[in-house]
């Protein structure tokens, strides 16, 4: 319930036009990875905290808040098939409603899977809390 | 085969009547 924090690297973000889908997220991750490689910028080291409230990311060097995404804004999460150390989620931007796909590089495939499973657990707990509240 | 790991969020866009 209190959430779990993972040390990941934020590779980038791209806009998508659907809230979910394997092909869609694979294409989005491909775009993000290509852009990151082209820019040769080092991925930003972040503390990635998952809880039934949502996902909070902090910049690990400055401790600055980067993203605070409510669990109700997140539609989908996945470990990319091709880049299997990459975890990605799709969320709706609270201000303009656009759908964003954010991708994170994990140290190992196992870590990417652990992040995805933890986010999935947060989805389930949030759903149970929502049903109780309804 | 889709051995990718992916999860849909059942509370996506559910409003919180708080």
Query: Is residue A96 within 8 Å of residue A103, measured between CB atoms?
Result: no
Q: How far apart are CA A58 and CA B5, in angstroms?
A: 25
B10 contacts on A by Cβ (under 8 Å): 123-124, 127
E-only strand ranges, chain A? 4-16, 44-51, 54-59, 65-70, 74-79, 86-92, 99-105
pLDDT > 70 fraction of chain A, expressed in percent and rounded: 100
Evaluate if residue A6 carries a pLDDT over 50.
yes
| Nearest chain B residue (CA) to A129 | B11
What pLDDT shows up at residue A1?
76
Q: Which of A83, A122, A133 lies closest to A103 in space, CA to CA?
A: A83
Residue A31 sits at φ, ψ, to 5 deg, of -60, -45
Residue A40, φ and ψ in degrees, nearest 5: 55, 15
Q: How confident is the model at residue A2 (pLDDT cuts 50, 70, 90)?
A: confident
Q: Which residue of A has its CA nearest to B3?
A: A81
User: Which chain A residue is nearest to residue B6, measuring alpha carbons?
Assistant: A78
Neighbours of A132 (CB within 10 A): 7
List the single best residue of B1, B3, B11, B14 to mutate versus A (max A Cβ within 10 A): B11
Decide: A52 and A122 in contact? Cβ < 8 Å: yes
User: What's the complex ipTM?
Assistant: 0.92
Residue A108 phi, psi dihedral angles, 5° rounding: -140, 160
Q: What is the pLDDT of residues A24-65, one digit of tens each?
A: 999 999 999 999 999 988 899 999 999 999 999 999 999 999
Of A51, A42, A50, A104, nearest in space to A78 by CA: A104
Mind telling me how many Å the CA of A122 is from chain B's nearest CA?
9
**Span B1-18, pLDDT tens digits:** 456 799 999 999 997 654
Confidence of residue A134 (pLDDT cuts 50, 70, 90): confident
Q: Is B13 left (phi over 0), alpha (psi -120 to 50) or beta?
A: left
Residue A120 · residue B10 · CB < 8 Å: no
- Mean pLDDT taken over chain A: 96
Q: Is the pLDDT confidence value at A91 over 60?
A: yes
């Amino acid at each position: 319930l209190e959430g779990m924090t993972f040390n990941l690297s934020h590779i980038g973000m791209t806009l998508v036009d659907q809230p979910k889908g394997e092909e869609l997220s694979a294409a989005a991750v491909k775009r993000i990875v290509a852009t990151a490689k082209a820019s040769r910028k080092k991925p930003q080291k972040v503390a990635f905290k998952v809880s039934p409230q949502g996902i909070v990311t902090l910049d690990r060097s400055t401790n600055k808040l980067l993203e605070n995404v409510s669990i109700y804004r997140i539609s989908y999460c996945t470990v990319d098939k091709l880049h299997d150390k990459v975890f990605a989620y799709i969320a709706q931007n609270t201000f303009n409603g656009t759908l964003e796909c954010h991708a994170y590089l994990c140290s190992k495939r196992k870590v990417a899977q652990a992040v995805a499973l933890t986010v999935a657990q947060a989805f389930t707990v949030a759903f149970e809390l929502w049903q109780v509240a309804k | 085969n889709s051995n990718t790991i992916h999860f849909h969020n059942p509370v996506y866009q559910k409003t919180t009547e708080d």
